[in-house]
Structure 1
Amino acid sequence: MRKFTFLRKKIQAKDRALQEKLVHHYFDDLQLNQQPEAGENAGFDSKEVYNRIINNIDAMPVKRVGAGKKWMVAASLFAVASLSVLGFYNRIRILDIVSPIAQKQFSTVNGQVASLTLADGTKIWLNGGSKLSYPEAFRGDKREITLTGEAFLDVAHNATKAFIVHTGNIRTQVLGTSFNVKAYPEDSFVKVDVVTGKVGVVSSAAPTVFLTPAQGVTIVKKNHSAIIAKSIDVAALSGWKDGDFIVKNMPLPEVLNAVKHRFNVLIKADANLTKCSISANFTNVSLQNIMKIIAKLVKGKVTPDGTDYQLKGKGC
């Protein structure tokens, strides 16, 4: 009798080891650790499912249920778990097909600054000549929008749903913070400056850059190089949303582009002037006087060219 008891215990231990191996193999095949993080309404717990499967298997009487029937029940449990997992991770795709969320666009013309509030409470200000694409509501574990131009964002905090701003092949990701993004198509760069919180800027061909308040990064589109700036004047960089027009050590091409989007006027400059940088406060200054100040700072002369301007000079 003792030998039989020992043999039975040995078989049960071996049987349980096989059960655990199969369950682990099942979850490995699903690659649950590689799945995206679930949203706040997520209800699936892989450990709980695992324990439930093992408990159900162990709860079966050894004498009444044969090995074949036992594994048939286990297979059924696996099937149920499989459906639960697949249903959980594909529910967003299914909802997108059955009940798609409308995509919206919001844009501004040169000379215009406008604001809007997204479904999650995020507030966005768009500078002149900018366009924003966004969903009517956010679904899943991400909040994603697409920006062309310049915007200041005050993102509503949500620890379970990252907020992502796409600008070409560069994306800026946060949970809840305020920052400025400049990504006009004609610019040779994408610039991100942080006012509050922490921001991650991801480029397809460069390491992720993490920024904290008063820090900024300029990513050159041509080679994806990143230039990080510290102790920046965030008030000057984001003051445009409140009507201010302040430039600090800004390259002339960027200044002229800012003038274009603010006053809807094109300014052409000689190539030898492009290396100049300007610092000035143009708030409440007329376009004509701004042009005179810029010409003086670059040791040049500005002349009207139809509705546009031509800037010539020796350079800095």
Structure 2
Amino acid sequence: MKRYLQYRIEDFVWDQAFRQWVLLPTRETDARWQQWLAEHPDKVALVAEARAMVQSLQLRELPLSDQEIRYAVQRTLGQARKQQAPFIPDADGPVRRLPFYQHSWFRMAASLILIAGLGLWAWTVQLPSRLSALMRPDFSYDQLTGTRQPMLTETVNRTGKVMPVKLTDGSLVILKAGSRISYVPGFRSREVFLSGEAFFEVTKNPARPFLIYANGLVTKVLGTSFLIRAYPKDPEVIVEVKTGRVAVFAQTDPQASRKMSDRELDGVVLTPNQKIVFERSEVRLSKSLVADPQVVAGPAQRFSFDDTPLPTVFATLERAYGVDIVYDEELLANCPLTAELADQPLFEKLDVICRVIEARYELIDGQIVINSRGCKP
């Protein structure tokens, strides 16, 4: 958005991306412009005036002849380049000249141009169906009260260390250094924009899902704890689940609107110790396990095995870590294991087990798959 630094008011008015944000805002465009304005506060007044101009233009059919249309457009382009004089005196005293964008000829010509431009653009990209399928109303629109919120509440961590942020619904966000979150004032919608990295502990509320938007990925939860890494320049977004279950899906998913509004978890569902990697350029989701799975079962687990059948060993690991272990139960039913595995991480435990039974394991779609020919008698 570097080009906007050199823009004048009329440049903003004719800019298609700017008009789209003003007239047909989405969560992503609103967040992007709000962030740009926060980074360039000297442009706030200029953008506000340009927004007012765009909003004042009424897009409607005008009964004009071709000659009148050509005249209005030519006059608009000529007048827009003139500097606005502050006052023009006459016999009755000083009279303020109206800004060019408040004249009826400007509104009429601009309306025609906007109708043609937006009409072609909407036809080309099938705007009505795409917007209804992909996006809900503007992020700063409170659906509960039916009112537009003037600004997003934003919290930026400039402390150089992690910073806890308590939300009004009781949820806790541990914001990493240099990261930021934004949300509707009062946080009544349980929706958050994240730029950077944060750990979330979400208060459970099945009736009101919690939504996080991060670089094109939507994470939806009812109540759980998880980490999201979504730095603006990173090619990937990563979600790692510690407890509970979360659902993730791309914001460009044709069913995104339904998935966001539905109370059920829909999309790629993650359970404890699972993670998703969202490749932004290819809009691709890859599910796997976190680098160091942690025990998620309540009481401390014992991993001391004495002639224990392997199906029992694997069931113990599944309960402790909340992961799925896929293996041939009939083939390994009579394979015993004697080992003390209390202090090893999960993957080291698996290494020991596989050495004993001459097997190997691999991670596929967030599961542990054991490949074995059976154990020796």
TM-score normalised to the size of structure 1?
Answer: 0.41
1 or 2, which has the higher strand percentage? Answer: 1
TM-score normalised to the size of structure 2?
Answer: 0.35
